[in-house]
Amino acid sequence: MGADSKSRRRCGWFIVFVVVAVVATAVIVTIKQKHQHSEVTYAPLPGTPGAISPVPGPPDAITPVHGPPGAITPLLSPPGPNASVPGPPLAIDQKYADALNVAVQFFDVQKSGQLVNNNISWRGNSALQDGIQEGLDLSKGMYDAGDHIKFGFPLAFTATVLSWAILEYGDHMSAVNQLEPARESLKWITDYLINAHPSENVLYIQVGDPDIDHKCWERPETMYEERPLTQVNTSFPGTEVAAETAAAMAATSLVFKTTNSTYSGLLLKHAEQLFTFADTYRGSYSISIPEVQAYYDSSGYDDELLWAASWLYQATGDNSYLEYVTVQNGEAFADWGNPTWFSWDNKLPGTQVLLSRVNLFGAGASNAENDGLQNYQKTAEAVMCGLLPSSPTATYSRTNGGLIWVTEWNSMQQPVASAFLAVLYSDYMLTSQTPTLDCEGHPFSPEDLRQFAMSQADYILGNNPMKLSYLVGYGNVYPQYVHHRGASIPASVDTGCNGFSWLSSTNPNPNVAIGGLVGGPFFNDSYYDYRNNSMQAEPTTYNSAVVVGLLSGLVTTSPVVPSFT
């Protein structure tokens, strides 16, 4: 009996030992999978712009947006067959999932043409005759912002960034049922871009006259004004807009490569033709067509040529495009070592991050090409170091509430675009097993970059001094007087051109421009919810592309795959 008891005790201790060993191993693995992150502190930029009145009512009376920051729920559904990462994502952060569901809908709000499966009750068919004077069908595409112009330059940027988001985070989108809506919206844009490129050296870059359009306040469904077309060609070149459109088509060709190979091939053909046109007939569209300077004036086309060639390299694997961005034009065009802000007009930071991807995952490049790729990555690292609040090179361009702040007009664009690049770079580090980013001797982890991206997303969604969601339709409190013609006029009303009583109305918009990311706060974190305040209150389609990319990256966590194909 004593021997049996001793034997059982030994067996019991052995079981305990095994259990402890298993638990310890699990803890070690978990710790290895986590990344330390720095405490986030913000340095304000000296001086403030003129004070702007906040939205009506005291800030502390505004209800916070839906969901606590750390809320997560189990994976809603497994990723589909087009998942872009190995293995399923981890737990879903419901806050970002809800926000992504809202953000994607703004593309439906902005659609032109014969609507299919229309999910926006107050929208209907519009601009069905666009392009008819040249025998073209330019009815699709999307309106730029609160107006009814189709500006090709920012619209192509919208398509490029939305493609990038889908390529990197399609599995995240799929997990929360947003992949198909995003793809459908993307194709709505590229269907238009294909028709806007009727021959190799002709690209229609605008539908509508901004001067006429801005003298009217009306719903797009009841527009009666003429819709003139604007084109670039060999006599009136537009390198930046042709190259951006090439980038959009190259990136989108990758999105549809496995699901619609015929469409993908057509897009790639247009992309290659447009890049050749852009590069051969160099000239800024702002010079060729001075009228565009009042709306989307270009600062130059070097960045778009690099951006387009980088996407064509991704889409084709043709090393001539890699040589173009590294050996042939890197020194002249890339402004290596000088970090800048990513936007519809400046593609350099996006190019630097995209080519860092190539460098981190291996390109099979020549020595000279590798040197160029390393210069792109070093500049991308400088961009990242500037974003991290605790970095010795951190930008001081931040509001007291923590938002990156660069410009009064559409102040949300740069912080959201920067946060999108940060979450991408974080995931590139994780995938390539790059443990730290060095910022003048101070190491930062991928988690630090992700925390920065989350800080910007959370500010947008209500964690700001106004306690206001800048994403229309998300949370309990968001702007009610959005500068948007269609949203401001009841669907039953035909105002003609003269609906300005709805612009000046003191009543909230009768329709919700759901998913619109408004221009954003001033430097003092204030926002004036006033319909005629287009500087702060107007949403844009290209803002939607970067916020969809950012939210898609934050919905869940998983590394990206080294190749888009």
Distance of CA 378 to the CA centre of its chain: 23
Give the three-state DSSP class for 202: strand
Distance of CA 516 to the CA centre of its chain: 13
H helix or E strand, kind and range, residue 305: helix 302-316
Tell me, what's the pLDDT at 69? 27
DSSP labels for 64-111? Answer: PPSS-TT--B--SS---TT-SSSS----B-HHHHHHHHHHHTHHHHHB
What is the C-alpha end-to-end distance of the chain, expressed in Å?
68
What residues are paired with 142 via a beta bridge? 111
Give the three-state DSSP class for 187: helix
What residues are paired with 217 via a beta bridge? 498
Radius of gyration of the chain measured on its C-alpha atoms: 25
DSSP letter, residue 327: I
| Residue appearing with tokens 């046109």 | 277
483 is catalytic: yes
Tell me, what's the pLDDT at 364? 80
Distance of CA 478 to the CA centre of its chain: 20
Residue 69: exposure state from Cβ atoms within 10 A (0-12, 13-18, ≥19): middle
Tell me, what's the pLDDT at 460? 98
Catalytic, out of 35, 148, 197, 483: 483
Q: Which residues of the chain carry a pLDDT beneath 70?
A: 1-89
Q: Give the integer Cα–Cα distance in Å for 439 and 526.
A: 32
Contact 227/129 with Cβ under 8 angstroms?
Answer: yes
pLDDT tens sequence across 15-31: 333 333 433 333 333 33
Q: Which of 526, 395, 521, 520 is nearest to 46 (CA)?
A: 395
DSSP labels for 416-468? Answer: HHHHHHHHHHHHHHHHTT---EEETTEEE-HHHHHHHHHHHHHHHTT-STT--
Q: Which of 144, 220, 213 is nearest to 540 (CA)?
A: 144
| Residue appearing with tokens 């920065």 | 452
Give the three-state DSSP class for 142: strand
| Residue appearing with tokens 């999978």 | 33
